[in-house]
Amino acid sequence: MRRVAVIGAGPAGLMAAERLSAAGLGVTVFERMPSVGRKLLMAGRGGLNLTHSEPFERFVARYGQAAGRLAPYLEAFPPEALVAWAEGLGEPTFVGSSGRVFPKALKASPLLRAWLARLAAQGVRIVTGAEWQGWDADGALAFSGAPPQRPDAVVLALGGASWPRLGSTGAWARILADRGNAVAPFRPANCGFTVAWSETFAARFAGAPLKPLALGFEGRTVRGEAVVTGYGLEGGAVYALSAPLRDAIERDGRAVLELDLRPNLSEDQLAERLARPRGRASLSNFLRKTAGLSPVAVGLIREAFGPAPPPDLARAIKRLPLVLTGARGLDRAISSAGGIAWSEIDERLMLKALPGVFVAGEMLDWEAPTGGYLLQACFATGLAAAEGVLARLEA
């Protein structure tokens, strides 16, 4: 029996293991953590957003610069295939109001349990507490916590570098770079950003939600929600713009985000409301009653313009400038950019410098917003790497 080592027990690695074992290969999954799927379980705390229901062309475009490279793998395993796979494990799904797809259980643990049961039934062996250390002097896979291995093929699904406490440390980058593979530096993606709040504002409004809200940057507008934090700003709408915001900060030292605090009203509608006599009302009460602004929104106006109201309140509400000074680090980012350069792999996701070694998931140099895109690409590339292994071993 041909044997394959899958290193990394996240969605990409387990999907590769499922396909390979279903094809009759002997599969062993090695995982450095004491248990499998830790980031998947963390994602389940937010309901486990598996994928998205939007049209496929728009879906693929969410992957930005990597869209063209990922498109064939997403076409081979599109969102509807992922939904069918989950339902095959006994986890029915539903489409939320935003188009996001969730399991009806709204958590990851039932799906993971059913998946692991399927893998066990297919003969997959899982070894935890086994940290991959590269290759030894004799060319065997070396592990801390497991004996050396000499499989017929290898699938590396070691993740990126975000949330390292859950297992994705990015330590593999040095190992593969030493073997002649170009690795793009890791950078935070889907992350929060720092803002130089005044002490008063931070103390009063840390944790306050901003909704409804629209954010604008470099000609792109995103509607959604955000949350004020003690260090700055985070939330779904912020994550959707995190890549261009991060790049601008790296380039210019800062990024000016434009906030629309009343996206459901036009600037003219706001101006008409704000033209009403203010009388003896405080600015806060006036803005609350006439413009429907929350206390934190009023606080943001004061942060941007000082204690005196700006001359054009309607414009300030619709286009409030917020200076971001930095991106939060990889230790708290939802995902990471960077990884194995696309030039280093062939169309079957095999490393050109290491024949028989395939890569999948966040190890590849791509990024995507939250909304199901991250998991979908991990599943799809895990399956694609497995198909690559099968093609090579059958050749």
- What confidence tens digit (pLDDT) does each residue in 208-257 have? 999 999 999 999 999 999 999 999 999 999 999 999 999 999 999 999 99
When pLDDT is cut at 50, 70 and 90, the band that residue 121 belongs to is very high
pLDDT on residue 310? 87
- 143-192 tens-digit pLDDT: 998 999 999 999 999 999 998 999 899 999 999 999 999 999 999 999 99
User: Quick check: 108 pLDDT over 90?
Assistant: yes
User: Quick check: 281 pLDDT over 80?
Assistant: no
Three-state DSSP class for residue 74: helix
- Sign of torsion over alpha carbons 238, 80, 380, 43: positive
| Residues 16 and 385 sit within 8 Å (Cβ to Cβ) | yes
- Assigned token pair, 340: 């194995």
pLDDT on residue 45? 85
pLDDT on residue 268? 94
Cα separation values, 205 from 100, 202, 208, 224, 306, Å: 29, 5, 5, 19, 16
pLDDT on residue 16? 98
Q: How big is the CA angle at 363 (ends 359 and 369), to the nearest 5 degrees?
A: 130
d(CA 77, CA 79): 7
pLDDT on residue 308? 82
pLDDT on residue 54? 97
Percent of the chain with pLDDT over 90: 90
| Phi-psi map region of 190: left, alpha, beta (phi>0 left; psi -120 to 50 alpha) | left
User: Quick check: 302 pLDDT over 90?
Assistant: yes
Is the pTM value of this prediction over 0.85? yes
User: Quick check: 323 pLDDT over 90?
Assistant: yes
When pLDDT is cut at 50, 70 and 90, the band that residue 278 belongs to is confident
d(CA 375, CA 267): 38
When pLDDT is cut at 50, 70 and 90, the band that residue 284 belongs to is confident
The domains found in the chain, sorted by start residue, are 3-188+336-394 (3.50.50.60), 193-327 (no CATH)
- 346-355 tens-digit pLDDT: 999 999 999 9
User: Quick check: 282 pLDDT over 90?
Assistant: no
